[in-house]
Amino acid sequence: MTGAALPAADLPSFAESVAYVRALGKPSAADVLRAAEAAGRVALQPRCGVGSHAQMMTLLQDLEQHARPDVLTLTIDSHTRLKRFDQARAALERNPADLNGYPLVTHGWRRGRELNEAVSAPLEVRHGSPDARLLFTTSVAAGITSFEGGGISYNLPYSKAVPLSESLAAWREVDAMCGDLAGRGLVIDRELFGTLTAVLVPPSVSLAVSVLEAVAAAREGVRCVSVAYPQGGHFEQDVAALRAIPALAARYLPADVEVHAVLHEFMGVFPRERSNAEDLILYGALVARLGGAAKLITKTYQEAYGIPDTRAGIDGLLLASRANSPLLGFIKVDEERVGWELEWILREVAEIVEPVLCAADLYQEIVAAFQEGRLDIPFSASRYARSEVVPRRAADGAIRYHAAGSLPFSAGTRRHNERSLAADGGPRGGDLLKGLTADINYFLHEFGESPAAPS
């Protein structure tokens, strides 16, 4: 990965970029998140990204005009994510619609500024790159104030053969640049991709990876961290996972690092029927509200069919925004159950991360821990994760550890997961493969939809 040459870039200095952001006069992503938390509301952000510059401009403006999201997104194409800049340029010249996102490096930072100046909401770059150094500096030059990813979370779910040591080193440079910018007065929101492999991710695995990335980032000078958690599907467990984020920040991060909780609406198999999909969108938004999330990454009723169109993106934002209504204050959650889930999540995260955080060299220890299975994520395609962890849904829908692999769990934690899965007759399905398939299709079963592919 690091052998690939970075293309020459006509980038302005950090000093000029900081001056540009100040002159732009719009709130940064960190400003927006801080204001949303102070107001007790959940900020909203759609996913969006197309290859054409003109169409990207129109997409951002349409979303802002019709749905007023708090943060807007540049989703980056897969060629740029993998530093295949020549292929991104060739696709852009041939047909921009062939790209599955916006090739910011290829379009260049000046066009990035055009997008930034076309909307009032701050922009975030979302991508999936194990080495995002050039993309980051181009984003900063474009005046973009939020950047997603991390050395673990943007490698192991996406890449098969990128050594973890390389992605961690590349992201360490990104974090150090954020520290430099913070020293110049520009705080970049560093959002961590706790979603990982998206399907059946146990909350403590998601949060443990984010804790390690957040600690690494803070040590390099990052001053604003957003910890993103994927909606798993069990209401109280998801609320507890979001409420665990400030508790983990207080336990493991310096007090001068601001931390925001972010919820990704369900990333697994989405219902095909529009009404069912919309029920799930509102359900996710209520999880975000009751969990105290600062921001919600929204979905659309077209998720089951591929990349949604602009109208679906607008409708998804408008529906999710209903959860911010003051009229919904009567909705309560089972606080006793949330407290029980929170206690176990914090215990599991502590058992995973604290042996790693005790090491003299955090980066070397993360690599060694993944090699030995002391750190692990389920369903990873990477040869640098063992993926010995096997999650299952308990009968009530909560995600538990069917197999914890070599995670350093205590006997009590292992018994807790075994008992949870055994309760009420055990998880759905006797055969493991059939059971996992049923767990993945959880919401299809809840809505009575067939898992058959759409025609």
Q: Catalytic: which of 37, 47, 113, 148?
A: 148
34, 37, 47, 81: the catalytic one is 81
Pairing state between β 258-264 and 399-403: unpaired
**What does 284-338 look like in DSSP terms, one character per residue?**
HHHHHHHHT-SEEE---TTGGGSS--HHHHHHHHHHHHGGG-GGGGG----HHHH
- Dihedral angle, C-alpha 314, 315, 318, 320, nearest 10 °: -110
Are the C-beta atoms of 55 and 96 separated by less than 8 Å?
Answer: yes
Q: Is 81 a catalytic residue?
A: yes
- Give the integer Cα–Cα distance in Å for 200 and 202: 6
CA atoms of 377 and 385, how far apart (whole Å): 7
Q: How many C-beta neighbours within 10 Å does residue 304 have?
A: 18
147 touches 186 (CB < 8 A): no
Is 22 part of the annotated catalytic residue set?
A: no
User: Measured between alpha carbons, how far is residue 169 from residues 1, 152, 223, 327 in Å?
Assistant: 11, 11, 19, 48
| Cβ atoms < 10 Å from Cβ of 418 | 14
Going by C-alpha positions, the residue among 254, 175, 258 that lies closest to residue 221 is 175
Token duo for residue 410:
């205590």
3 state DSSP class of 75: strand
Residues acting as catalytic residues: 81, 148
